C-alpha cells in the first residue's frame, strides 16, 4: 500500500468515517509519518484492553461505563482476586489520533462522542448563536470516556467545595478525606510539583505540564502578577492564582483513564471488558428491591448478565440518570408519564449543573506568537512529536494557562474564587472549520464576527462561572433507550450568574490591558454578535447579550444523582453512593456531586472512582489500608 493509502486507511480507522487521505494531509496536522510510526512501530496492540467475545452469565460486580470513573472502579475492584468484574462500555477502544493532545477537538463529533445536544430553551435565552439554539454536549463513548475527548486539564477543585459536601451531610467527603485519593492515582512527572505535600508519584495516572508553550503563556502569568495574583500550583494549598496548565499527559501523549487504569491490568483473568455493549436497563426485583443484573445490547442482540454482589453505574451525568429512570428509579410522576413501573421515587435527573462561560472572547496581537493551524501543520512539527515527544502537538487541547480569580461577588476571604480562566494562544479563526463544527456556530455569526480575523494573530480567555446558581434537568423523552433524553441546563435563570460572569469578563479584559500583553499590542476584538449590535461594547447589556448567544459549556455536567443524607429529599444516593430504596446498586461518577466543584471535573471524577472503590471493598468485608 502506498504512503498516501496507508495514511488514508489509518485516518479512516481513527475517526470512523471515510476520509480522503489528501484531506487528512491538508486539513489535519501532518499525520503521514506520525501515524505510520505510532500505528505500526511504537504502539503495541497487545497493550490495549482485551474486548472479550462472550460475556459469562454472572459476575460479582458489573460496572456500567468505562469512563473517567468506571475505568478506575473496574481496575480497583479487580485487585481482589476472588472477585469477578465485568466492565461494559458502549463504545470501542482509543486510537492513535485520540492520543495526540492538540487534536482533542477532533475527537468531538466523531465515533467517540455520544453527540448530545441541549434542548432549545423556552424562556431564558442561551445557546442563541448556535444552530437551532442548541449547544453541543460532547460525552465520551469510548474506553476512557470523556477523558479521551477532553483537553486533559488536571484541576482538583477547591478545598471548600469538599468541605461543603461534608457539611451537607456527607461524612467522609471533606477535603482532608478526599486528598489522599487524588494523590493515590497520581504519578506527577514535574519534580517541583511532585516534591510538595499535595502531589505524589507512582500512581496509575500521569500528570505533568506540556513540554511546549507559546511566549504568550509567560505573558499570561506575568499579567496575573500585575493584577495582584500569585503564580502558584492551584492544585496545592490555595487555589486562587495563575498557573501553567497541568494535564493528564504521558510522554507527550494523552493519558486517559483507560490507558492509566485498564491497560496495566489487561491480563487479569477476573476482569472482563465488553466493548460496544450499551446498557439499557438495570434489572431490579420489584419485591425485594434488589438489583440483580443488567440488560444490554451487543452486536444488535439484546443480552442479560447477572450481578451477584452489585451493579455500579458509571455512565456519567447524562447516562446514569437515563438508565436509572428506564429501570424504574426516578421521579414518580415523570416515570408514570412514560408508563415505567416505579420502584424508587427519587429526584433522578434533577440538580443538573455545569460550568458555562462566554465563548469566543478574542484578543488580537501584532506578533506571530499565536497557535495557528497553518503555522504548526508542518512535517517538522510532526517529526518533533514522533521522535522527541515534544513540540506543539503536545499542547493540552491548546489550553496553556489557567487562573482562578475573585469577582466582587466572591467570598471576602479570597480563598473560594468564583471565576476560572482557560487561556489559549488561539481563537475561533485559528482552526475555523473544526471549531465551527464542534460549537455548532451559525454561519451568520461566524461570517460576521470571526471571518474578518482569517489571517489575524489571536488569543482567547474562556471565563467560566465556577459555582452557578442555575440548575437544570435530564428528562426522558421516551422509554426507548436509544432515544436521547432531554437535556435542559436552564443556564442563566438566576440573574446573579450573568452578573458574576460579566465581572469575570472584565477581569479578562484587564489581562489583555496588562503591560505583559501590551508588549504584543494586545487589544480586544470588538465586532459584536449580530443580535447584540444595539449595545455599546463593555456595557452590562452588551455582555449579557453576548453570553446568551455564544454560551460556551466546557463540558462539565454533574449532580444529576445527588449524594446526600436520607433527610435530604433531593438525594438519590447516600454518602456511600448506594441508591436509596434499591439494594446492590450504586452510582459512581460526576452525577453524585451534590454541588459542582470549582474547576475542571475530570480529576474529581477519578477521585470519586478511587474513593468509591475503597468503600465498596469495605462494605464487602475487605480491609482497606488508608
Q: Which residues are annotated as a binding site for FAD?
A: 142, 279
Cell digits of residue 548: 446568551
Q: State the Cα–Cα distance between residues 31 and 571, nearest whole angstrom.
A: 48
Q: How far is CA 415 from CA 128, 497, 511, in A?
A: 34, 19, 20
CA 502 to chain CA centroid, Å, is: 24
Q: How far is CA 408 from CA 54, 435, 491, 496, 502, in A?
A: 58, 33, 21, 12, 11
Please identify which of the residues 199, 334, 549, 556 carries the catalytic annotation.
Answer: 556
- Cα dihedral across residues 140, 145, 149, 150: positive or negative: positive
* Contact status, residue 182 vs residue 72, Cβ threshold 8 Å: no
Q: State the Cα–Cα distance between residues 475 and 418, nearest whole angstrom.
A: 29
556 noted as active-site residue: yes
Q: For the residues of 270-329, what is the DSSP string, one character each?
A: TEEEE-SEEEEEEEEETTTTEEEEEEEEETTEEEEEEEEEEEEE-SHHHHHHHHHHHTTE
* 378: nearest Cα among 26, 39, 10, 2: 26
Q: State the Cα–Cα distance between residues 184 and 610, nearest whole angstrom.
A: 8
* Contact status, residue 317 vs residue 594, Cβ threshold 8 Å: no
* Contact status, residue 19 vs residue 7, Cβ threshold 8 Å: no
CB contact set of 555 (below 8 Å; sequence gap of 6+):
137, 138, 139, 146, 149, 150
Largest CA distance in the chain: 71
Task: At 206, give phi and psi (nearest 5°).
Answer: -80, 130
Cell digits of residue 539: 456595557
Q: State the Cα–Cα distance between residues 540 and 531, nearest whole angstrom.
A: 15
Cell digits of residue 529: 454578535
Continuous segment of H or E residues that includes residue 495: helix 495-513
Q: For the residues of 162-208, what is the DSSP string, one character each?
A: HHHHHHTT-TT-SHHHHHHHHHHHEEE--HHHHTSTT--SSSSEEEE
Q: What SS3 state is found at 333?
A: helix
Angle (CA) 584 590 594, round 5°: 90
| Annotated binding residues | 142, 279
Cell digits of residue 19: 476520509
* Contact status, residue 489 vs residue 579, Cβ threshold 8 Å: no
Q: State the Cα–Cα distance between residues 504 and 420, nearest whole angstrom.
A: 8
* 148: nearest Cα among 71, 88, 234: 71
Cell digits of residue 340: 415505567
HSE value, Cβ hemisphere, 13 Å, CA-based, for 124: 16
Active site (catalytic) residues: 556
Amino acid at each position: 500500500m502506498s504512503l498516501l493509502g496507508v495514511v488514508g486507511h489509518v485516518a479512516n480507522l481513527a475517526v470512523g468515517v471515510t476520509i480522503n487521505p489528501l484531506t487528512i494531509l491538508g486539513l489535519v496536522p501532518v499525520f503521514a509519518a506520525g501515524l505510520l510510526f505510532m500505528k505500526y512501530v511504537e504502539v503495541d496492540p497487545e497493550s490495549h484492553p482485551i474486548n472479550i467475545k462472550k460475556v459469562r452469565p454472572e459476575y460479582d460486580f458489573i460496572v456500567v461505563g468505562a469512563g473517567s470513573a468506571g475505568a478506575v472502579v473496574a481496575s480497583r475492584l479487580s485487585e481482589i482476586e476472588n472477585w469477578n468484574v465485568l466492565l461494559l462500555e458502549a463504545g470501542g477502544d482509543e486510537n492513535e489520533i485520540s492520543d495526540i493532545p492538540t487534536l482533542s477537538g477532533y475527537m468531538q463529533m466523531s465515533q467517540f462522542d455520544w453527540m448530545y445536544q441541549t434542548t432549545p430553551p423556552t424562556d431564558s435565552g442561551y445557546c442563541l448563536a448556535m444552530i437551532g439554539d442548541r449547544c453541543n454536549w460532547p460525552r465520551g463513548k469510548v474506553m476512557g470516556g470523556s477523558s479521551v475527548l477532553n483537553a486533559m486539564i488536571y484541576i482538583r477543585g477547591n478545598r471548600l467545595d469538599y468541605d461543603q459536601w461534608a457539611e451537607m451531610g456527607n461524612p467522609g467527603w471533606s477535603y482532608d478525606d478526599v486528598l489522599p485519593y487524588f494523590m493515590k492515582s497520581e504519578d506527577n512527572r514535574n519534580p517541583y510539583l511532585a516534591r510538595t505535600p499535595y502531589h505524589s508519584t507512582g500512581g496509575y495516572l500521569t500528570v505533568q505540564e506540556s513540554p511546549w508553550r507559546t511566549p504568550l503563556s509567560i505573558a499570561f502569568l506575568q499579567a496575573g502578577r500585575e493584577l495582584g495574583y500569585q503564580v502558584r500550583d492551584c492544585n496545592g494549598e490555595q487555589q486562587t492564582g495563575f498557573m501553567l496548565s497541568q494535564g493528564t499527559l504521558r510522554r507527550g501523549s494523552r493519558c486517559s483513564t483507560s490507558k492509566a487504569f485498564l491497560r496495566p491490568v489487561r491480563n487479569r483473568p477476573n476482569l472482563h471488558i465488553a466493548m460496544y455493549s450499551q446498557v439499557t436497563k438495570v434489572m431490579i426485583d420489584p419485591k425485594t428491591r434488589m438489583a440483580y443484573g443488567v440488560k444490554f445490547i451487543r452486536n444488535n442482540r439484546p443480552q442479560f448478565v447477572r450481578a451477584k454482589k452489585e451493579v455500579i453505574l458509571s455512565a456519567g451525568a447524562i447516562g446514569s440518570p437515563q438508565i436509572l429512570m428506564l429501570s424504574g428509579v426516578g421521579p414518580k410522576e415523570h416515570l408514570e408519564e412514560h408508563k415505567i413501573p416505579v420502584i424508587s421515587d427519587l429526584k433522578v435527573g434533577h440538580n443538573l449543573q455545569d460550568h458555562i462561560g462566554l465563548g469566543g472572547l478574542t484578543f488580537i496581537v501584532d506578533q506571530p506568537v499565536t497557535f495557528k493551524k497553518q503555522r504548526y501543520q508542518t512535517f517538522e512539527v510532526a517529526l518533533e512529536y514522533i521522535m522527541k515527544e515534544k513540540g506543539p502537538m503536545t499542547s493540552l487541547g491548546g489550553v496553556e494557562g489557567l487562573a482562578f480569580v475573585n469577582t466582587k461577588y466572591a467570598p471576602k476571604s479570597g480563598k473560594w474564587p468564583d471565576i476560572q480562566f482557560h487561556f489559549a494562544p488561539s481563537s475561533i479563526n485559528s482552526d475555523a472549520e473544526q471549531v465551527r463544527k464542534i460549537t455548532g456556530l451559525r454561519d451568520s455569526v461566524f461570517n460576521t464576527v470571526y471571518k474578518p480575523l482569517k489571517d489575524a494573530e489571536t488569543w482567547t480567555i474562556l471565563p467560566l462561572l465556577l459555582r452557578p446558581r442555575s440548575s437544570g434537568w435530564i428528562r426522558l423523552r421516551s422509554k426507548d433507550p436509544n432515544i436521547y433524553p432531554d437535556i435542559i441546563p436552564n443556564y442563566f435563570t438566576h440573574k446573579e450568574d450573568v452578573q458574576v460572569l460579566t465581572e469575570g469578563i472584565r477581569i479578562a479584559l484587564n489581562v489583555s490591558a496588562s503591560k505583559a500583553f501590551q508588549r504584543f499590542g494586545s487589544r480586544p476584538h470588538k465586532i459584536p454578535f449580530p443580535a447584540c449590535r444595539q449595545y455599546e461594547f463593555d456595557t452590562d447589556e452588551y455582555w449579557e447579550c453576548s453570553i446568551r448567544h455564544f454560551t460556551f459549556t466546557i463540558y462539565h455536567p454533574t449532580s444529576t444523582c445527588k449524594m446526600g443524607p436520607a433527610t435530604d429529599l433531593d438525594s438519590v444516593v447516600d454518602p456511600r453512593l448506594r441508591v436509596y430504596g434499591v439494594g446492590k446498586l450504586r452510582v459512581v461518577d460526576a452525577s453524585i456531586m451534590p454541588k459542582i466543584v470549582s474547576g475542571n471535573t475530570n480529576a474529581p471524577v477519578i477521585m470519586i472512582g478511587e474513593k468509591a472503590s475503597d468503600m465498596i471493598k469495605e462494605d464487602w468485608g475487605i480491609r482497606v489500608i488508608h
